[in-house]
Homo-oligomer: A and B are copies of this chain.
Amino acid sequence: MNTTQSTPSTAQIKEAELSIHDVIARRESAHAFSPRAVAPATLRSILEAARWAPSSYNVQPWAFVVATKDQPAEHEAVASTLMDLNRRWAAHAPVLIVTVARTTFPHNGAPNRHAWHDVGLATANLLTQATALGLVAGPMGGFDPLAAREKLGIPEGWEPVTVIALGYPAEREAEATAAARKPRERDPLEHFVFAGRWGHTAHFAAAPRASEAGPLDGFRSVGIATIQN
């Protein structure tokens, strides 16, 4: 989250999709948006993808408050909850979505320890669908959840989780040179994938030797400079 964005070239997508699906490889958090509005059918498709996420006991402990630029007061209400650093760029997004978690089970009021996790599952589907439709989306944890609760009328039992800035990428971003972009960085797999027991390196997770490097390794070492968080 919270990083610059870009549109990867077709060549990079091709390299990546052999190892991971292009809707995952192409996803990136966005910092600059085209003023182009997001059509209702597109918004619906993106939220429909969230809807089909799995959840613990299928209670679907999520809600989404969507504010579009053509509702300036509502859009500003969401933007005003953002940390300054996020607000500076995210206020220009044509769509802001507040994701909300229902933290107790509806049938008995017991705490649902998977509520935030399941909002994460739904949010990742939303991001994947947005990517598939050519949009960019940046989820942000940096906002004031109490202000969001008050301004949007979010009831007790529900907690604001993130604000997602959504829209089409700005053209100047799409045209920016690779050198001007911040590389996406992740820990290597062998740091966080274990075999059977904590701390035991999984043989399939260790970095392949040069001779057995897969397509994504090329993607990571060569194409990486143009793919963003």
Indicate which residue in B20, B152, B197 contacts A65 across the interface (CB closer than 8 Å).
B197
Distance in angstroms between the alpha carbons of A204 and B48 in the assembled complex = 11
Asked whether, in the complex, the Cβ of B124 is within 8 Å of the Cβ of A116, the reply is no
Q: Is A161 an interface residue (CB 8 A)?
A: yes
Task: Check A194 for interface membership: any CB of B closer than 8 A.
Answer: yes
Contact residues in B for A132 (Cβ distance below 8 Å): 21
Residue in A29, A54, A73, A197 whose Cβ sees the most chain B Cβ within 10 Å: A54
- Least Cβ–Cβ distance between A150 and chain B, in angstroms: 11
A65 and B195 alpha carbons, distance in the complex (Å): 6
Query: Does the CB pair B120–A64 fall under 8 Å?
Result: no
A147 within 8 A of B: no
Q: How many copies does the complex hold?
A: 2
A7 within 8 A of B: no
Q: Mark A187-229, 1 if CB is under 8 A from B, else 0.
A: 1010011111111001111000000001010000000000001
Could you give 26 example pairs across A and B, Cβ below 8 Å? A20-B45, A20-B52, A21-B49, A21-B129, A24-B128, A27-B54, A29-B54, A43-B204, A45-B216, A48-B216, A51-B192, A54-B139, A60-B186, A64-B194, A65-B197, A66-B194, A66-B195, A68-B195, A74-B196, A114-B116, A114-B161, A117-B120, A120-B123, A121-B124, A128-B128, A153-B197
